[in-house]
Chain A
Amino acid sequence: AAGVIQSPRHLIKEKRETATLKCYPIPRHDTVYWYQQGPGQDPQFLISFYEKMQSDKGSIPDRFSAQQFSDYHSELNMSSLELGDSALYFCASSSPLRARNTGELFFGEGSRLTVL
């Protein structure tokens, strides 16, 4: 079965640079979520999109932005990178019906960003 695809899997950037992470949800899933997981930390919710519109906002820094495109894939753009941005970034997808019934999100394998 198709899963959530994230790219790149690993990314190394320097401070003050910009990075873009991509997420391709499971087919027919129209809701995408972004989480940030620092070393030894819990996954923190950043932002979510439903039908290409932002639906919820969590602890996403102002330096970050995201959007969902017409094919439902999503991109997380991070600018002016800081050392503290080094983390594993997860994307998850769901369909509203499934979310209402079980709250289940389907996670990708994550993109590991290292800021030097």
Chain B
Amino acid sequence: GEDVEQSLFLSVREGDSSVINCTYTDSSSTYLYWYKQEPGAGLQLLTYIFSNMDMKQDQRLTVLLNKKDKHLSLRIADTQTGDSAIYFCAESISGGSYIPTFGRGTSLIVHP
């Protein structure tokens, strides 16, 4: 949505690292998420980060958060063809129902 913005496409070679970027507008965001959507499937939560964190690493995934610039990124190391999907950035705010607001998604294409 307009509160969360992402580039629409990213193409990488298998084995390279992928970096998907996202900017958000709500400074009161408490949780920031990365969801993955494979063709014909629902959204699956990949990882999330609290707003009081700068970085979170989970196996091949690294999330970086720059609160000052309201910028979130997802780095996928050693990208594989199975990582080809749409990646959605989302934010939610505490004190309510934690309803995520999604970006339009970045379509990651991994080629041999």
Asked if B82 is at the interface of the complex by the 8 Å CB criterion, the answer is no
B101 at the interface (CB under 8 A from A): yes
Please state if A41 and B92 are interface contacts (CB–CB under 8 Å): no
Segment at the B interface, from A11-19, A70-78, A101-109 = A101-109
Task: List residues 31-75 of chain A with CB under 8 A from any CB of chain B.
Answer: 31, 33, 40-45, 48, 50, 55-56, 58
Residue A21 CB within 8 A of the other chain: no
Interface contact B99-A45, CB-CB below 8 Å: yes
Chain A residues whose C-beta falls within 8 Å of the C-beta of B1 in the assembled complex: 42, 44
Contact residues on B (Cβ < 8 Å of other chain), bracket? 20 to 34
Q: Give CA–CA (A103, B45) in the complex, Å.
A: 10
A26 within 8 A of B: no
Q: CA A50 – CA B6 in complex, angstroms?
A: 31
Contacts A103-B92, A106-B45 supplied; 20 other A-B pairs, CB < 8 Å: A31-B97, A42-B1, A42-B102, A45-B100, A56-B96, A56-B97, A90-B43, A92-B43, A103-B30, A103-B31, A103-B33, A103-B48, A103-B98, A103-B100, A104-B33, A105-B43, A107-B42, A108-B42, A109-B40, A109-B41
In the assembled complex, 15 residue pairs joining A and B whose CB atoms fall closer than 8 Å, in A order, are A33-B99, A42-B104, A42-B105, A43-B43, A43-B102, A44-B1, A45-B100, A48-B97, A50-B97, A56-B97, A103-B30, A103-B33, A104-B33, A104-B45, A107-B35
